Structure 1
Amino acid sequence: MVATLAKTAETTRPEDEHLGLGANLAYGFQHVLTMYGGIVAVPLIIGQAAGLSMDEVGMLITASLFAGGLATMLQTLGIPFFGCQLPLVQGVSFAGVATMTAIVSSGSGLQGVLGAVIVASLIGLLITPIFSRITKFFPPLVTGIVITTIGLTLMPVAARWAMGGNSSAPDFGSKANIGLAALTLGIVLLLSKLGSARISRLSILLSMVIGTVIAWALGMADFSRVITGPIFAPPTLFHFGWPTFSVAATLSMLIVVIVTLVETSADVLAVGEIIGTKVSSRRLGDGLRADMLSSAIAPAFGSFTQSAFAQNVGLVAVTGVKSRYVVAAAGLILVTLGLLPIMGRVIAAIPPSVLGGAGIVLFGTVAASGIRSLSKVDYANNMNLVIVATSLGFGMIPISAPQFYEHFPAWFVTIFHSGISSAALMAISLNLLFNHFRAGNSEQQSVFVAGTERILRYQDIAELHDGDYFLGGRLYDSTGKPVRVTSDH
């Protein structure tokens, strides 16, 4: 009997805890609120770049909610070979925003984006069995560069939103628009400083609500068309047209898919460590396959690449709620919201200036996450600093000079017009060149490397005797006696 109980305790996983329907829905709704701003931002950006109407942008948003909900339930509940069965919320990945915007701007339109996502995701599905063997080529050095570039690439979008969104509008860049954006930004910072932990986590969403109410009171928001369409409607398959396929667009999106695989791998391992459960290589593979299958199917509903949301991994750590059924309930809520087009129209009616104020923090957080990853990189006596500098500089070219590649072939422009693609290709290539193919590397490869070396004064070294050693932060002589270390005073 005792042996049976011990075996049951060993096989019971913390993520399999059932909290009851009410608790699942309550905690699940908290997960939805945490990631809601992020999941609707991507379709807003892509929809505006594609020149869609407010109604069509609303449909794009609800499609992303619906696809994210299905992906979340697949990841948390799982089926054979798909789903890691961990509390991970899935949604539209930020990693592809810049690349998809570049594909839309290149003339391929939204159909070209959907086609590229389908093909690149299917390729990603095929390479998941061997992906665990090549993760060493995507260390924090590479992923940090990519994530930082994603945030920096999105900042011009936030600036355009803050100015009013529509560059042809007479009030574009007006004091009223920028003032509304500044007010929204101020509300985000105020709630983050003065609010409780829960309010602080919801500061982006709450600031958008408050900013929109203020805009409506000032006559800067129009919700008259919100009630003109249906309240409930299932998503229409290929509503935005049949996908078109381009080799260049697919290659560009494939880089995004690889980055997504790296991010999802990190999130799966992180949440496993947080909740204290074992994540085997097979379980990791099941999670990656769920990611890619969801991304390949999402374009049929009008959505894009799906990945785990890192902010929800943080929410699991903060709340201590480990149950995967809580997150599955969040997926069910997302699916329900995706069946309500009116919700999409409400979000699409939010003034761009409000989105701009919140977007500065939202997109800046993405860049800050990348910088945090780069802070963990070792820069001593290697070329990592040069890799970061060159890759970020290469990624900033399309942002600072959008016409830089206008005389190059169309396929080349599609790949390198995106700052994220440019930075990722450079980071991967230079990391391979300097950190994996070490033949020919010298001790001092550049002045940048020399600049990162530690330098000690000769008089400091002269005070040391043979046999002196440091242990636990203290200096000892050859006999083991501690040596006093004093300040200059």
Structure 2
Amino acid sequence: MADHPVDEKLPALKMATTGLQHVAAMYAGVVAPPLIVGAAIGLTGTELTFLTGACLFTAGLATILQTLGIWKIGARLPFVNGVTFAGVAPMTAIVASTDDKDDALPIIFGAVIVAGLLGFLAAPFFSKAVRFLPPVVTGTVITLIGVSLLPVAFGWAQGASPSADDFGSATNLGLAGATLVMVLLLRRFTRGFVKQIAVLLGLVGGTLLAVPLGVTDFSPVAEADLVGFPTPFHFGAPQFQLAAIISLCVVMVVSMTESTADMLALGEIVDRPADERTIAAGLRADTLGSAVSPLFNGFMCSAFAQNIGLVAMTRIRSRYVVATGGGFLVLMGLCPMAASLIAVVPRPVLGGAGVVLFGSVAASGIQTLVRAGLEKDNNVLVVAVSLAVGIIPITAPEFYHSFPETARIVLDSGISTGCVAAVLLNLVFNHLGNGSREAADVTHPMEAGEEITGGAKAAATP
């Protein structure tokens, strides 16, 4: 019996190039949090490079753990892990409240360790929420994941920083557009392997196009060391402060919510629906990776939704491809010069490719919704209100400005708020009173130990 595509081992060259494509898709997201937090602390260029390399290294370890798995740890899906953006705001708040900036990173690392360990213990209980996530909920959340990521791509397309003189310039937007066109042409007029690595080729082509325009910066390569290991506790032994721990425990809940939604999305795309046990194993990998990450000077790890779009678009579902990408991340963490090669890709080029990747995630969500029983008025209301709630942080970023900072960690995440709204509305309209009978028409449980309301498989590949 042939292996499921998720368990397929591809030829070495194909494994390497497609794995590198996953690294290219996630690189900017991995390095952005350490750059932001490091700048807030006032780290030197050398220290900032070290912190960035450490986050790449720990993201690679977490990705390998998630894809290959050990015991009951790891979803064993093509699931990429990296530094979560949800932690950036509370970490910078911790930095601002710390008088001696040398203590900021040790305090953050201590809080991440505690949050990770608590999350690991809570994973099997948290995973039981899957029975409240039928297609009408998962389709809504998958759509929100794609829609929430698109502004990131649009920001990249404009340039590296809003304060830069060329931010939003015709050159930057032109590069983004050219990269997008390259990817589309490759997808339309090529076949086989070339078609599958269209995004990687688009990134290479966009970078080459940027060279004569003076947009490509090769200084990271010139300044990087060839070898560098993330020495354990380089910035000092972890410190444990209650306020910081509570803050990052809230982030962990947000992170676990988003990872659950991402696993459900990926399970549909690769035609191996994520059941309760898979989600529990995936959350254990997330949280254990987060708890171990500070040992090597890394931050909290979580799922990277942008790579789900890459899986959907390329139709390469092998978890070993993503594990290979994790191996590249580890090597980049050990070799700053190698890591800097990806940094050469201009942000507008990443933005052009991101439009395709993130748009593919949203399209997958829409395909799931098509099969979620939208002929039912109740389901239409669930989707309509949940999408509206989830889009608030995107269209009105200051909507929750008067709320406490801790509450905003959750409220400013459209994925989290939209997911909570969808779950609650689905319970109210489809499980309480008369709604439960209508829900039965579009949901059906899986068998023992893997029960999930509405387990219909959605062909979510665009």
Task: Please tell me whether the aligned partners of residues 25 and 329 of structure 1 are also in contact (alpha carbons under 8 angstroms).
Answer: no
Q: What stretches of structure 1 of length at least 5 have no aligned partner?
A: 1-8, 444-489
Q: Report % sequence identity.
A: 38
- Give the secondary structure class of the aligned counterpart of 2:397: coil
Show the counterpart of 2:151. 156
Residue 37 of structure 1 pairs with residue 24 of structure 2: yes
| C-alpha distance in 2 between matches for 1:382 and 1:18 | 41
Deviation per residue, 1:75-112 (Å, 9 max, x gap): 4554444346x56454328xx54x34554676768969
Return the offset for 1:317.
6.9
Return the offset for 1:254.
0.8
| C-alpha distance in 2 between matches for 1:326 and 1:224 | 30
Q: 1:105 to 1:438 in 2, by over 3 A?
A: farther
Show the counterpart of 1:91. 81
Residue 197 of structure 1 pairs with residue 192 of structure 2: yes
Return the offset for 1:416.
0.9
Deviation per residue, 1:124-156 (Å, 9 max, x gap): 322333455431112232232223222222222
Q: 1:359 to 1:58 in 2, by over 3 A?
A: farther
Return the offset for 1:266.
6.6
| C-alpha distance in 2 between matches for 1:289 and 1:429 | 25
Question: Paired residue for 1:69, among 49, 56, 60?
Answer: 60
Show the counterpart of 1:305. 301
Alignment of 1:210-359 (within 5 A): 210-237=205-232, 245=244, 247-264=246-263, 267=266, 285-286=280-281, 288-301=283-296, 302-307=298-303, 310=308, 331-359=326-354
Return the offset for 1:120.
4.8
| C-alpha distance in 2 between matches for 1:328 and 1:400 | 36
Show the counterpart of 1:429. 424
Return the offset for 1:333.
4.2
Return the offset for 1:117.
5.6
- Give the secondary structure class of the aligned counterpart of 1:217: coil
Task: Please tell me whether the aligned partners of residues 152 and 367 of structure 1 are also in contact (alpha carbons under 8 angstroms).
Answer: yes
Task: Please tell me whether the aligned partners of residues 120 and 257 of structure 1 are also in contact (alpha carbons under 8 angstroms).
Answer: no
| C-alpha distance in 1 between matches for 2:313 and 2:361 | 17
| C-alpha distance in 1 between matches for 2:257 and 2:13 | 34
- Give the secondary structure class of the aligned counterpart of 2:219: coil
Residue 168 of structure 1 pairs with residue 136 of structure 2: no
Q: 1:169 to 1:116 in 2, by over 3 A?
A: same
Residue identity matched to 1:41: A
Return the offset for 1:411.
2.2
TM-score, scaled to structure 1: 0.71
Show the counterpart of 1:418. 413
Show the counterpart of 1:407. 402
Return the offset for 1:202.
1.6
Question: Paired residue for 2:203, among 193, 208, 212?
Answer: 208
Show the counterpart of 1:4. none
Q: 1:207 to 1:283 in 2, by over 3 A?
A: closer
Residue identity matched to 2:171: A
Return the offset for 1:312.
7.9
| C-alpha distance in 1 between matches for 2:155 and 2:139 | 26
Show the counterpart of 2:444. none
Alignment of 1:109-188 (within 5 A): 118-131=113-126, 133-188=128-183
Q: 1:285 to 1:106 in 2, by over 3 A?
A: closer
- Give the secondary structure class of the aligned counterpart of 1:383: helix
Residue 82 of structure 1 pairs with residue 77 of structure 2: no
Show the counterpart of 1:375. 370
Q: 1:152 to 1:281 in 2, by over 3 A?
A: closer
Deviation per residue, 1:160-204 (Å, 9 max, x gap): 222223212222222111111111111111111122232222222
TM-score, scaled to structure 2: 0.74
- Give the secondary structure class of the aligned counterpart of 2:255: helix
- Give the secondary structure class of the aligned counterpart of 2:285: helix
| C-alpha distance in 1 between matches for 2:158 and 2:348 | 6
- Give the secondary structure class of the aligned counterpart of 2:222: coil
Return the offset for 1:38.
2.9
Q: 1:289 to 1:205 in 2, by over 3 A?
A: same
| C-alpha distance in 1 between matches for 2:8 and 2:352 | 40
| C-alpha distance in 1 between matches for 2:330 and 2:420 | 35
Return the offset for 1:237.
3.8
- Give the secondary structure class of the aligned counterpart of 2:81: strand
Task: Please tell me whether the aligned partners of residues 57 and 332 of structure 2 are also in contact (alpha carbons under 8 angstroms).
Answer: yes
| C-alpha distance in 1 between matches for 2:327 and 2:166 | 41
Task: Please tell me whether the aligned partners of residues 116 and 288 of structure 2 are also in contact (alpha carbons under 8 angstroms).
Answer: yes
Task: Please tell me whether the aligned partners of residues 58 and 345 of structure 1 are also in contact (alpha carbons under 8 angstroms).
Answer: no
- Give the secondary structure class of the aligned counterpart of 1:399: helix
Aligned length: 419
Which of the two has higher C-alpha Rg?
1
Residue identity matched to 1:38: A
- Give the secondary structure class of the aligned counterpart of 1:386: helix
Q: 1:133 to 1:228 in 2, by over 3 A?
A: closer
| C-alpha distance in 1 between matches for 2:276 and 2:394 | 38
Return the offset for 1:230.
0.9
Return the offset for 1:225.
3.5
Return the offset for 1:272.
8.6
